[in-house]
Structure 1
Amino acid sequence: MFKTSQLSIALCCTSALLFSGCQHIIKPQSAPSTAQAEQPNEFDLQGKIGVRTPQQSGSAFFTWSQHQDDFDIELSGILGVGKTQIEGKPGEVTLNSAKTGLITASSPEELLKRATGWDAPITHIVSWVQAKPATLLAKTMQDDQGRIKDIQEDGWNVNLSYNAQQTLPNKLILKQSLADNQENRITMIIQNR
């Protein structure tokens, strides 16, 4: 029972924090202009996320709404079981579920560290979901259509997959190599943008 509870907490926190780090994604426009580039961050995503570590694995469905720097993420299991609510605004991120109660931190990275013990560049997901590296030190590879298909950055290898001619990925696999040929793996499938 304790391991199941730990797994649930780790999955919820990791999932939540991956998304809560994404406070600055701009929904792509067909013809970008200066005026459009200055519009506030507004988007809604739905999909599924899975987390696998050497000790545990699990998955959840997500619904994520972003309004400028504020976000609201709901994670749940099949048929809405095990609902977890994550909300954030600049300087405050909260996670609330029946299993964990309320956890508050000043950043997504701090909340992830408190809840799971993981150190991860959560805010990089902002760029990765947009098929862009987050820093100038990243190494990237492109596919035949010129889209970024791999990003190596801050100890993580991110593989991006696309549907047909889409310019934004519908699947991301984030891998962090660990000792003894083990890894942390996060799989994010975006079903609706």
Structure 2
Amino acid sequence: MTLLLGGCASQMASDVAGDLTRSEGDWQQQATQLDALTHWQLAGKVGIRTPDEGHSANLDWQQDGDDYRMLITGPLGAGRTTVTRDADGVRLNSSDGDFEAPDAESLMLQQLGWSLPLGALNDWVRGLPSEGTHQLEEDAQGFPATLYQDGWKVSYQDWTRAEGLWLPRKLKLYYGDLTATLIVNQWQAL
């Protein structure tokens, strides 16, 4: 199920020999490291549910600063869909063709019928709020539990420890009648 997108990467290995219990203060101790983690890759599954339909797919996401490449395979991506952002803009490549737009959200809405805030999701998937106004509720250990930002509700439901960092393993995003679920099976630092 996992497809590595290439490049020289050091896998963020699970801390199997270490303490896998989150403790109060862990989040604050790693916040600076998470903010500096701007070149990474994850592999997992994504599910999208609207009142009319629900789909899921495999997701391979490579983040390189502000640029990214997302490979979506399976029913949600109608086979194989790639969303890429770089200095030239945002492109979507699918079995229906190649499409470009100034931002990912409008491109996804136009071509897929739904959209996720990919710019903010880069931060949210690391457990961080994006730039701008937000409200954050913490759990008993001080980790993000629920984040409200730009009309979205992000619910952090499970965490995994990789290479000394606690990272979200399962999160749900809600916006109006759209629900997105992301389950991360693998993290890698690039």
Q: Calculate the TM-score normalised by the size of structure 1.
A: 0.68
Could you list the per-position Cα deviations for residues 12-55 of structure 1 after superposition, in whole angstroms to 9, with x for gaps in the alignment? xxxxxxxxxxxxxxx9x97968xx94x8x321110000000011
Code of the aligned partner of 1:76: T
Check the 8 A contact 1:49/1:62 in 2, yes or no: yes
Between the aligned partners of 2:50 and 2:78, the Cα distance in structure 1 is 22
Distance 1:116 1:83, change over 3 A: closer
Summarize the alignment of residues 161-172 of structure 1 with structure 2, pairs less than 5 Å apart.
Answer: 161-163=157-159, 167-172=166-171
Aligned to 2:91: 94
Report the Cα offset of residue 118 of structure 1. Answer: 4.7
Report the Cα offset of residue 115 of structure 1. Answer: 2.2
Aligned length: 155
Check the 8 A contact 2:136/2:148 in 1, yes or no: yes
User: Partner of 2:93: helix, strand, or coil?
Assistant: strand
Match of 1:153 among 142, 149, 154: 149
Aligned to 1:189: 183
Q: Which has the higher contact order (CA 8 A, sep 6+)?
A: 2
Unaligned 5+ residue runs, structure 1?
A: 1-26, 178-182
Code of the aligned partner of 2:152: W
Unaligned 5+ residue runs, structure 2?
A: 1-11, 13-28
Check the 8 A contact 2:160/2:168 in 1, yes or no: no
Report the Cα offset of residue 81 of structure 1. Answer: 7.8
Aligned to 1:106: 102
Report percent identity of matched pairs: 31
Distance 1:117 1:81, change over 3 A: closer
Q: Calculate the TM-score normalised by the size of structure 2.
A: 0.69
Check the 8 A contact 1:73/1:87 in 2, yes or no: yes
Check the 8 A contact 1:147/1:167 in 2, yes or no: no
Aligned to 2:121: 125
Report the Cα offset of residue 157 of structure 1. Answer: 1.0
- The structure with the greater share of residues assigned to strand is 2
Distance 1:32 1:136, change over 3 A: closer
Check the 8 A contact 1:45/1:65 in 2, yes or no: yes
Report the Cα offset of residue 127 of structure 1. Answer: 1.9
Check the 8 A contact 2:158/2:168 in 1, yes or no: yes
Between the aligned partners of 1:110 and 1:164, the Cα distance in structure 2 is 32
What value does the CA root-mean-square deviation take over the aligned residues?
3.0
Summarize the alignment of residues 1-193 of structure 1 with structure 2, pairs less than 5 Å apart.
Answer: 37=36, 41-77=38-74, 82-98=79-95, 100-116=96-112, 118=114, 121-163=117-159, 167-177=166-176, 183-193=177-187
- The structure with the greater share of residues assigned to helix is 1
